[in-house]
Amino acid sequence: MAVAPKYTPNKPKDAGLEARQKLGWWRAYRFLILRRLSQLSIILMFLSGPMWNVWILKGNYSSSMLFDTVPLTDPLITAESLATGYFPEMTTLIGAFIIVLFYAVVASKAFCSWVCPMNIVTDAAAWLRRKLGIRQSLKISRELRYVILGVILVGSAFTGSLLWEWINPVAAIGRVFVYGLGATLWLVAVIFLFDLLVAEHGWCGHLCPIGAMYGVIGAKSLVKVNVVDRSRCDRCMDCYNVCPEPQVLRIPLHGKPEDSQIVLAKDCITCGRCIDVCAENVFAFGSRFEKQINIKNL
């Protein structure tokens, strides 16, 4: 009778070490590096006008103009405006439509991992948390962010004001990068410390209503993380240790044979870190239809 192999999980602080040793430095960090380049490039697009008088993106993360031509509007602030009873200008509505269409088609919560500047802060807190071995974490429902989203919209309707914009940390950190250190920096620091000391992945994984909004928008998006071959998994736990939404990995990675091996959960932020840190090449980016097509062809 065959004996099942015993697996020893890696320590959280060593997440990615095995991939780095086996596959090389670039392979173990490629999507992390590409995401940082994407986030920093967008910040530079905002800075190009004030610094060099070349206006690529004019405005902020809530509302901007690309090359003074293409409007881009945060769907949440647009929804808040509509909730208050105020009908925004057509430019604002077109900007929101462009953003919704893009993220609905491309990838689940790609804004959160490839665009949002707060992701840099929360990733830094998660990295430091692993290195310091901080394992205690306040238990918070991941559904709370959707409750907060609903409260913001209902509250905006009752008060007639854009409630979220008073404390929006994405706008706050955007102002820090564009206008320098200011009064809103304390909010960014609070979120960093909250993620570091109170709740693991607390802000993005449990509270952020912007992420909740993009989760709903991108629920049926095309690009997904696929589990290429479950049998390759050696239970090292590196993917769980680095994933800001580790619950989305359970069914594709360890579910029943008939379960989809595509990460279809709307909370996946399509960051690619599970792909980076996996030394066994279990994960890869692919289409949400990839496995279904393969199954039909068997």
pLDDT in tens, 60-96: 899 999 999 999 999 999 999 999 999 899 999 999 9
Q: Report residue 181's pLDDT band, with 50, 70 and 90 as the boundaries.
A: low
d(CA 60, CA 178): 9
pLDDT (0 to 100) of residue 21: 96
Q: Picking from 59-63, 143-147, 171-175, which range would have the lowest pLDDT averaged per residue? A: 171-175
Q: Mean pLDDT in the chain? A: 90
195 token code pair: 């993620």
CA 140 to chain centre: 18
pLDDT (0 to 100) of residue 293: 43
Contact 134, 241 (CB under 8 A): no
Buried b (16+ CB within 10 A) or exposed e, 128-158: ebbeeeeeeeeebeeeebbebbeebbebbee
Q: Report residue 296's pLDDT band, with 50, 70 and 90 as the boundaries.
A: very low
Q: Report residue 263's pLDDT band, with 50, 70 and 90 as the boundaries.
A: confident
Indicate if the pLDDT at residue 266 is higher than 80.
yes
d(CA 230, CA 220): 23
What proportion of the chain, given as a percentage, has pLDDT over 90? 73
pLDDT (0 to 100) of residue 245: 95
Which residue, chain included where needed, has tokens 């289409």?
287
pLDDT (0 to 100) of residue 3: 45
pLDDT (0 to 100) of residue 1: 44
Contact 108, 244 (CB under 8 A): no
pLDDT (0 to 100) of residue 155: 95
Phi, psi of 29, deg, nearest 5: -135, 5
Contact 78, 96 (CB under 8 A): yes
Q: Report residue 180's pLDDT band, with 50, 70 and 90 as the boundaries.
A: low
Model confidence pTM above 0.75: yes
pLDDT (0 to 100) of residue 166: 82
Q: Picking from 95-109, 180-194, 241-255, 276-290, which range would have the lowest pLDDT averaged per residue? A: 180-194
pLDDT (0 to 100) of residue 249: 94
pLDDT (0 to 100) of residue 258: 76
Phi, psi of 57, deg, nearest 5: -120, 120
28 token code pair: 């173990």
pLDDT (0 to 100) of residue 2: 45
Q: Report residue 6's pLDDT band, with 50, 70 and 90 as the boundaries.
A: low
pLDDT (0 to 100) of residue 175: 66
